[in-house]
Structure 1
């Protein structure tokens, strides 16, 4: 089931974010910068703030009351051109439930809710995500850098836009 996130989801959103982020980005192990970012960013309070921001929305995918994935959007964020639409800030699916169309269903939900013109950024070394997005029709439109406490990490910017 997909529904809009509620304040009672914030703790689970934080835990799932920690799981997915560390699995994806701590590929060479943990160090202080990685641990500090993850533990200070992915908190219950962080998600409460997002839910209180009228420009942000989070949609959750639940199965038997368990959070399996979520998508977060920032309706006010644009990349270079207005035509790129709003930003998908996060699309996380627990590794235990990947390859079950959960990510695609979450993307379909935001398309239905907010329109089919949006963009996102993903780490250049996250080939699994890049392949997933390309399969769905995303196009590479630029690059951004993610700043991890002074270390810059290159991200691809991918945009989705339905034609016709």
Structure 2
């Protein structure tokens, strides 16, 4: 079931985020800067703040009391200009549930509620995500760099528009 996230979801959102982030990006293991990043970024209080922020919306995909995935949208973040729409800041699905249509359902629900023009960034080496987004009709429109531990990591900017 897809629904809006509630304050009581914050701990599960933090735990799922840490799990997905580490699985995706810590391919060579965990070092101090990676641990520091995930433990300081994906906190219960971080998600509580997002839920109170009028610019953000978080939709969760649940099965009973279990969180399987979520999508976080920043309605006021634009890439270059407003023609690229709002930003999908996060689309995370627990690895055990990949390939079951959860990400596609979250995108469809988001699109129906907030409109059909949006963009996101994803790590250039995250081939499964890039393949998924291209299958959904996203196009590559640029790059941005993510700074972690003194290293720059290239991310691709992907955009989608119904028009």
Normalising by structure 1, we get a TM-score of 0.98
Matches within 5 A, 1:113-152: 113-152=113-152
- Cα distance in 2 between the residues matched to 1:131 and 1:146: 20
1:25 matches 2:37: no
Alignment of 1:36-51 (within 5 A): 36-51=36-51
SS in 2 for 1:131: helix
**How many Å apart are 1:20 and its aligned residue?**
0.1
Give the SS at the match of 1:54: coil
Q: 2: CA distance between counterparts of 1:140 and 1:77?
A: 18
In structure 2, list runs of 5 or more residues that go unmatched. Answer: none
TM-superposed deviation, 1:152: 1.1
Question: Which residue number corresponds to residue 97 of structure 1?
Answer: 97
- SS of match in other structure, 1:19: helix
Q: CA RMSD in A?
A: 0.6
Shift of 1:125: 0.3
Deviation at 1:82, TM superposition (A): 1.2
Matched residues in 1 for 2:42 and 2:33: separation?
Answer: 14
Q: CA deviation at 1:77?
A: 0.2
Q: Which residue number corresponds to residue 2 of structure 2?
A: 2
2:79 match: secondary structure: coil
**What SS does the aligned partner of 2:16 have?**
helix
Once the two structures are TM-superposed, the CA of residue 135 in structure 1 deviates from its matched residue by: 0.2
Secondary structure class of the residue paired with 2:34: helix
Give 5+ residue unaligned stretches, structure 1: none
Q: CA deviation at 1:63?
A: 0.6
- In 2, the alpha carbon distance for the partners of 1:91 and 1:50 equals 15
1:59-78 equivalences under 5 Å are 59-78=59-78
Aligned residues between the structures: 163
4+ residue stretches of structure 1 with deviation over 3 A?
none
